[in-house]
Structure 1
């Protein structure tokens, strides 16, 4: 069924990173919008971001909150593109002046996944031998897994999903941690060995959803993007992003979340941990989903009272405000 919104014939340009996952996500958005707006021509503009180019340095040490977004944002501000498709977890909570989060798509499974080397097919995260080397580039995953499994060893891993899987299969790692959503979108769901429980690893803010960024006040583009908006996913994302923003956390800090909506009530669980996993604070709030951002701020305040600020200050001193 096409949208009832009347838009004059024109070309809309979509900005995206060049990675395989980014392109899969962007072309999905393009195809969905073409169903709603057959009279509009949607074109994809591929760009390389800083995070795509620097592959020999851990993400947390590069020190830039717009690692995977800045070049796309310049394109929108320069009017060479009209909007950009992001994995929402990569989109900073504070956007440049003149830009806004225009749409959150329906969220898919936000969990983390364990992917193992063939020799560990009979193991789960809980039964991997002591000293097994786990690959992850996420401080959030690292801190939580260190907390629960101090007997395991952890090693940074960079590159796109295919590159990481190749390193795993070559024996450089015993297992790696990736997002369930990314593997499923790449039709690699068969590589998911174990869905990691939220009791062990709370997911990243926005994980599993796409965030579409556009120019603030661009009513025509906002009308178009409304066709892909999922209300519950948006409410959950706004709560999570408000929580992260209030803690002044960038994408590369050990902050995890989980949200659920039931009968218009939103439950938000949040976690802050030290890099070594020795300190891990977790709490939750519940309230009306229409006050999602207020709930995020409230939960951040509860964790600050428990010492989250001190934990994050130490991390910022060690790795910078990435």
Structure 2
């Protein structure tokens, strides 16, 4: 594409330092470099609070921007021009002056089961009573406790390689991880089972990358549109509106599933769930409509779930988190 920038302009990309974050950021850079060969793109890495605090469960740290704040400050302070996020980590309410400029094509958003070698050939349902399942996600925890109350669930933190090492050493019998992350790091062979939405609805934005930049940087915004995927954008905007209207952060048991249909991908179906951490109290429903009204559909579904008791479930969870339980 023809660039609006001079060939001397350098576009600075902000990224977390984790292996997965860098794989994702390099992919974005390469896509943009192919579209705009006359522009130089540089990657600048930063450590975030979520990267540095590894001995506390995510839900207990009490911050919705665990993996994004430092990158956002970098943009606000003009140290980087845009940042690449796993969209599931990006809060639905962004700081003043920043916008979600583009959403890339989604990888498989489902959750995966990775088993210890001794259970090779098994499924989650066939594991024995008391099997130790590792997850750092309250969303996964709540849904799995509902379906498999006979398992023991244990928090697991660290990057993907660290978690795999803990699994292989016998600390866990199985881990529940994102299919997309495993595939992006070339670990597809470790996936033993992909969980059906009936077992586990995925996180809002899971499998997609969100590109955040300054709201007044029209030139960068126009460049980023080159890698936006309209179908993924519509699905994720509906999901994010649903989460935002429920005022739920990344670390609450809210799950979703979206589907696009129609000859021109004009129809969108959104399913959402809110669950108590113990898995005993769940509200779930589905809405359908035009994809161009994605955010309105998300708000509509949030309203429906509130009428079914979602507000009370979330208030109880927030109270428990604040008490440190």
TM-score by length of 1: 0.98
Aligned to 1:21: 20
Question: 1:142 touches 1:154 (CA, 8 Å); kept in 2?
Answer: yes
Asked if 1 retains the 8 angstrom alpha-carbon contact of 2:11 and 2:81, the reply is: yes
**d(CA) in 1 for partners of 2:287, 2:323:** 27
**Residue 136 (str. 1) matches residue 138 (str. 2):** no
What is the rounded CA distance, in whole Å, between the counterparts of 2:291 and 2:50 in structure 1?
A: 34
Deviation of 1:4 (Å): 3.8
The answer to whether the Cα contact below 8 Å between 2:3 and 2:39 also exists between their aligned partners in 1 is no
- The equivalent residue for 2:178 is 179
Tell me the CA shift for residue 7 of structure 1: 2.6
Which of 303, 309, 320 aligns to 1:301? It is 303
Q: Which residue does 2:118 correspond to in 1?
A: 119
Q: Deviations over 1:262-317 (max 9, x none)?
A: 01110000000000000111100000000000000000000000000000000000
Is there any run of 5+ residues in structure 2 with no aligned partner, and where? Answer: none
Aligned equivalents of 2:182, 2:322: Cα separation in 1 = 30
Partner of 1:311: 313
Contact (CA 8 Å) 2:3, 2:38: kept in 1 or not? no
Paired position in structure 2 for 1:197: 196
Q: Which stretches of structure 1, 4 residues or longer, exceed 3 Å deviation after superposition?
A: none
Query: Partner residue of 2:290?
Result: 288
Q: What is the CA-CA distance between 1:12 and the residue it aligns to? A: 0.2
Query: Any idea what SS the aligned residue of 1:39 has?
Result: coil
Aligned residues: 320
Where structure 1 has 5 or more consecutive residues not aligned to the other structure, the ranges are: none
Query: Does residue 89 in structure 1 map to residue 91 in structure 2?
Result: no
8 Å CA contact retained: 1:254, 1:272:
yes
Match of 1:8 among 6, 15, 18: 6
Which residue among 274, 278, 281 is the counterpart of 2:280? Answer: 278
Pairwise CA distance, 1:8? 1.8
Deviations 1:208-241 (A, max 9, x none): 0000000012110001101100001000010000
